[in-house]
Amino acid sequence: MKNVKYYLIVVSLLFPFYLAYGQEAKQEGHEHSSVKEKRVVATVDADGVQRVAISGGEYYFDPNYIVVKVNVPVELKVKAAEDSSWLVPHSLVVKAPEAGIDFKEGLSKESKPVKFTPTKVGKYPLYCDKKSPFGKSHREKGMEGVIEVVE
């Protein structure tokens, strides 16, 4: 009978860890290749600017594949997804200075404009650079995508 009590105590102590890490393990299958591509091809507005809205949440960007024209100004309207948690901070980062794209913007429920003019054809990664204290980076969890610059 003593053993049973001991077992129950150990199980109840470990249960929170099971919840925390069990959830992590379940999400692993969603990494990288299995992230669904949501592609948007930017259209040029009357004022000559390509505008694309992008939002981020747990743990995705929508869209996560943005096609823009080279040497035409871009304005990304960046925000946190409606269903995203205010407890989890997110960002949108693109580090491609060689292509004229180099920014890091925190996501909030209010849309913020990010302006740049891409100068070089190619595919450049976009991602969130946040990480939960005990987990994987948001990027590994699915908050990544591509800006493709085309002729």
Query: What are the residues binding Cu ion (CB under 5 A)?
Result: 90, 128, 130, 138, 143
Residue (100 or 135) nearer to Cu ion, CB: 135
Phi then psi for residue 23, to 5 deg, are -65, -45
Residue (6 or 125) nearer to Cu ion, CB: 125
Min CB(70)–Cu ion separation in Å:
28
The three-state DSSP-derived secondary structure of 27-76 is: HHHHCHHHCCCCEEECCECCCCCEEEEEEEECCEEECCEEEEECCCCEEE
Min CB(93)–Cu ion separation in Å:
10
Min CB(20)–Cu ion separation in Å:
18
Residue (118 or 142) nearer to Cu ion, CB: 142
